[in-house]
Structure 1
Amino acid sequence: MTKELYSKYEAVIGLEIHAQLATESKLFCGDSTAFGAEPNTHVSPVTLGHPGTLPVTNRKAVDYAIRLGLACDCTIEQHNYFARKNYFYPDLPKGYQVSQHTTPICKGGHVAIKTADGEKLVQLNRIHMEEDAGKSIHDLDDNNSCIDLNRAGTPLVEIVTEPDLHSAEEAWQYVTEIRKLVRWLEICDGNMEEGSLRCDANVSIRLRGETKLGTKVEVKNLNSIRNVKKAIEFEIDRMIGLVEAGESIRQQTRSFDAATDTTFAIRDKEEANDYRYFPDPDLAPFHLTAAFIEDIRKDLPALPQALAKKFRSEYLLSEYDSSQLSDEKTTAAYFESVVEHTPHYKAAANWILGPVKQYRNEAGEAVSLPDPALIAALIALVEEGKLSFSVASSKIFPALIASEKHPLQLAEEMNLLQVSNSDDLNQWVAAALNAMPEKVAEYKKGKKGLIGLFVGEVKKLSKGKADPKLVTQLLEEQLKA
């Protein structure tokens, strides 16, 4: 499709993200929510909707929903009730789903994303609580579909945007921000592969300049951020192709084929009145006091964007460093712990985004990190010229992890402190130049870039102990002779 044809239309996209709340038990009973159990073992009469069973609302799930709403600057609804959403599906054991669709606990709000034009506030319609359905499995038996009801009744929040996104890239950025946010708040693990974060995309197109929304298509159960982007890109192209060919767009529910990066129709889209919502007679309405909401607000951690702003203003870090440090809660907290012990903020950022991050990637995120004061002491040795960054990161840092000894003690024990004694340095410099007379001649003819080669040779001869700044100065002095 040509760029000119593509630019003729505007995509209008709304996203619905289901996030599984990280409670130990289900939304209305004590059945476990643990992932990976044998099929149909985390069920009970309440999960199965047996006659006479009475559900009880999980207080922790309500707490988590409010935390997310406050973090998104939503209005928290104090008077709440659950409704029954009636539809039949084999993995829906009760024949209805308990949801808050008609009375969301969180209204309005926004999520900030980064775009090519700067920051954009994606407007939210609502965040509401509901229970999950079970899981249909179609590839275990050649002749039958299998049903696993372990997931049925698991607490979810559904985060619904307004039709406020206009490209697959913006949608990608938004889902990335939501996943980071729910992990940051520790209310959802954000694991899309296990289904604890899923996305439905509502996509339509219209001619640029029009204000009326076009016919929308919903693409269901996108289980990776990549798939969200690919599915929306395909749908936009498909819809433009239909309109340009003089055909109409049908309101449908579609699914995404990750093998071909295409979507396919699975049914005509239902309307809200098809679900016949009514208040659940077995669940009492619940009231949230202002004091209860305020207590949750006070307990919220500093959020990523606020921390990034702090890192820029207070520690004078770049946009990139601030963004990377605030991308993960443990990384941000560790950085703040390190800078309590050092004024070298940029160096601390380099260490945490460099050697420390590499160590965590190799050893696993759950690994224990060295005492922040010891990292600060190691930074000080480099800044004072007693260690090169290379030696500090490749030799002292691994020893520090293994022993938790003071970096200066380790450097002395390993005989790695940088040498600044001019006699020793002059000997290494002379040896390096004597070993490469042809390169010396080339340098003197104008190939000044060879200075790095000589510095590297001195580094080898000194086993990394020579101060590179002093070595460079001595080399330049001797090469002028």
Structure 2
Amino acid sequence: MLDTQMPTPKPRVIAGESHDWELVIGLEVHAQVATKAKLFSGASTTFGAEPNSNVAFVDAGMPGMLPVINEECVAQAVRTGLGLKAEIHLTSAFDRKNYFYPDLPQGYQISQLYHPIVGEGEVLVELGPNDQGTPTARTVRIERIHLEQDAGKSIHDMDPALSFVDLNRTGVALMEIVSRPDIRGPEEAAAYVTKLRQIMRYLGTCDGNMQNGNLRADVNVSVCRPGQYEKYQETQDFGHLGTRCEIKNMNSLRFIQAAIEVEARRQIAILESGGSVTQETRLYDVEKGETRSMRSKEEAHDYRYFPDPDLLPLDIEQAWVDDLAAHLPELPDAKKARFIGDFGLSDYDASVLTADTTSATFFEAVVAASGNGKASANWVINDLFGRLKKDDREIAESPVSPAQLGGILKLIEAGDISGKIAKDLFEIVYTEGGDPAEIVAARGMKQVTDTGAIERAVDEIIAANPDQVEKARVNPKLAGWFVGQTMKAMGGKANPAEVNRLVGQKLGQ
């Protein structure tokens, strides 16, 4: 099993002019639910459609139109909660969050403030090694997950004098995943979002596409003096953590880290100059590398939340939840632990292969074809991933199938080809396709294992290079020259182990 007892990493410390400061971070991650229809209508959620083409009457706020909940959205939220080891609430309710903006035609957003569908859970975020080289991890607590509608999109760049509104996203189901303030640095924040995205992709509940806006985060940042966080843990008094500012709509892991860094330093500069931080919502300006004020931070009462009168409380049955739990796929932590245990992989290799479901599935198919877990991992990570990266291709676009790569490994295992020949064979299969065994036979690539033939080649090289023989007897490392010359003479087809053995024997080493 995955080692959940790994040391906890130290908090990020920033040195100010007069004091040291520690970072405290909490995230509200908005994940678009992977469904074909919206939360309360049958309108499509397809990305990239013509503006205002995926809009039902209820999405557009037409009078008299009533919302009807999409059961699959509820199921996806429950699956996500189960994947995060969270409490599933059998009764939840929807509220109206009232505010006015052009891309919110109803004049309110349907959300779940008071009775969310998912309660407390946790995520194990694995991080880099500590000073002793030991891997570290932090458990980030999940406070809640609630369902809510997305808003539309205001477009300002089509005409400088006009603004346009696209309602295609209006009513799309979101899961808002709210963490506790357990994250202590920019790198941890990015790792946390990465782990959430990985889990949801395994579950199939969100595609995690940040570029399309399907996964974005509001980042809450505050700074405190060393020791204050420990006081918060003892008392649960948020006053020990300093005043937080929220950075809205971050859709890039790199920008999340950069925004946290600059916002923390902004707050430290204010505090060290004798000022006080104002709780507010801010935006990160990518061009200038700074955060700027957007609006004062609203509290719940500012939105005049009240239960949505058009929606009854949502009641689900435990048996339905249990059935969803019974059909969950194997999740990343469990799969990683299995790869380490069953195939003898290193922690690093297992992490790379389980980073997404497509890679993990491909790897297991290669193992099934080759029968060798470690060799399969080495070839998938080093050779296949390296070649795909060079061509800017994803694993799903691999020209080499698991069966073909497994076939190459079986030829190595059988001694039919050497490692060097295998590299050449891999390139042929990658660029031309074909069955590896048939290619080896047709092109005469089979490894020479005839000891007599190899010995004759070694004897000829030694006889033709008496000066090199004398040097190699003085310096045994020069024996490699004879190995290389023999392999060259035999077209790279000689068994390397046998060549090394015979060269050493002939040179008296």
State the TM-score bracket (shorter-chain normalisation): over 0.9
Aligned-pair CA distance for 1:38: 1.8
2:339 equivalent among 301, 311, 315: 311
Contact 1:133 1:151 (C-alpha < 8 Å) held by counterparts: yes
Aligned residue among 449, 452, 456 for 1:423: 452
Structure 1 residue ranges without an equivalent (≥5): none
Cα displacement (A) at 1:135: 1.1
| 2:168 is aligned with 1:157 | no
**Residue 127 and residue 424 in structure 1: after superposition, are their counterparts in 2 closer, same or farther (change >3 A)?**
same
Aligned ranges for residues 20-419 of structure 1 at < 5 Å? Answer: 20-115=32-127, 116=129, 118-210=136-228, 211=231, 212-358=240-386, 361=389, 362=391, 363-367=393-397, 372=402, 375-396=405-426, 398-399=428-429, 405=435, 407-419=436-448
Letter of the 2:446 partner, please give it.
L
CA distance in 2, matches of 1:453, 1:25: 67
Q: Residues 120-154 of structure 1: CA distance to partner in whole angstroms, max 9, x if unpaired?
A: 21001001111101112222211222221111111
Corresponding letter in the other structure for 1:367 = E
Return closer, same or farther for 1:458/1:256 CA change in 2, 3 Å cut-off.
farther
Deviation at 1:168, TM superposition (A): 0.9
What is the rounded CA distance, in whole Å, between the counterparts of 2:430 and 2:214 in structure 1?
37
% identity of equivalent residues: 42
Are residues 172 and 396 of structure 1, via their aligned partners in 2, closer, same or farther at CA, if it must alter by over 3 Å?
Answer: closer
Gapped regions of structure 2 (runs ≥ 5): 1-12, 131-135, 232-239
Pair 1:17-2:58 in alignment? no
Pairwise CA distance, 1:343: 4.4
d(CA) in 1 for partners of 2:179, 2:328:
22
Q: 1:4 deviation in Å?
A: 4.3
Q: Is the 8 A contact 2:349 2:377 kept in 1?
A: yes
Match of 1:472 among 481, 489, 500: 500
Cα distance change of structure 1 residues 450 and 236 upon mapping to structure 2, 3 Å threshold = farther
- Per-residue CA deviations over 1:95-143 (Å, capped at 9, x if unaligned) read 1111112211110000110134522210010011111011122222112
Cα deviation per residue 1:261-305 (whole Å; 9 max; x = unaligned)?
221111111111111111111223221101110111011001011
- Mapped to 2, the partners of 1:455 and 1:42 lie a distance apart of 68
On the 8 A contact 2:80/2:200 being kept in 1, the answer is: yes
Q: Is the 8 A contact 1:370 1:404 kept in 2?
A: no
Opposite residue 194 of structure 1, the aligned amino acid is N
SS of corresponding position for 2:16: helix
Q: Deviations over 1:334-360 (max 9, x none)?
A: 333343455422112112223343455
Q: Could you say what the CA RMSD is over the residues aligned between the two structures, in angstroms?
A: 2.5
Q: Whole-Å Cα distance in 1 between the matches of residues 461 and 68 of structure 2?
A: 78
**Is this contact kept in 2: 1:396–1:410, CA < 8 A?**
no
**Residue 396 of structure 1: CA displacement?**
4.8
- Which moves more between the two structures, 137-146 or 95-104? 137-146
Q: Confirm or deny: 8 A CA contact 2:385 2:395 kept in the other structure.
A: no
Distance in 2, matches of 1:70 and 1:435, equals 72
**Offset, 1:56:** 1.0
State the Cα deviation string for residues 234-264 of structure 1 (Å, max 9, x = none).
1111111111111111111111112232211
Instruction: Show the counterpart of 2:10.
Output: none
Q: Which amino acid aligns with 1:208?
A: P
C-alpha contact (below 8 Å) 1:19/1:196 kept by paired residues: yes
Amino acid at match of 1:379: L
- Secondary structure class of the residue paired with 1:200: strand
What is the TM-score of this pair, normalised by structure 2?
A: 0.87
Question: Would you say the 8 A contact 2:447–2:493 is kept in 1?
Answer: yes
**How many Å separate the matches in 2 of 1:132 and 1:436?**
78
Which range moved further: 66-75 or 364-373? 364-373
Change (3 A) 1:3 1:215: closer
2:35 is equivalent to residue 5 of structure 1? no
Count of aligned pairs: 479
SS at match of 1:317: coil
Query: Offset of 1:427 from its aligned partner?
Result: 4.3
Q: Letter of the aligned partner of 2:356 in structure 1?
A: E
CA deviation after TM superposition for structure 1 residue 40, in Å = 1.5
Change (3 A) 1:364 1:114: closer
Bigger shift: residues 363-372 or 388-397 = 363-372
Q: What is the distance in 1 between the residues matched to 2:206 and 2:369?
A: 33
* Residues in 2 aligned to 1:221 and 1:452: alpha-carbon distance in whole angstroms: 59
Measure how far apart 1:229 and its partner are. 0.8
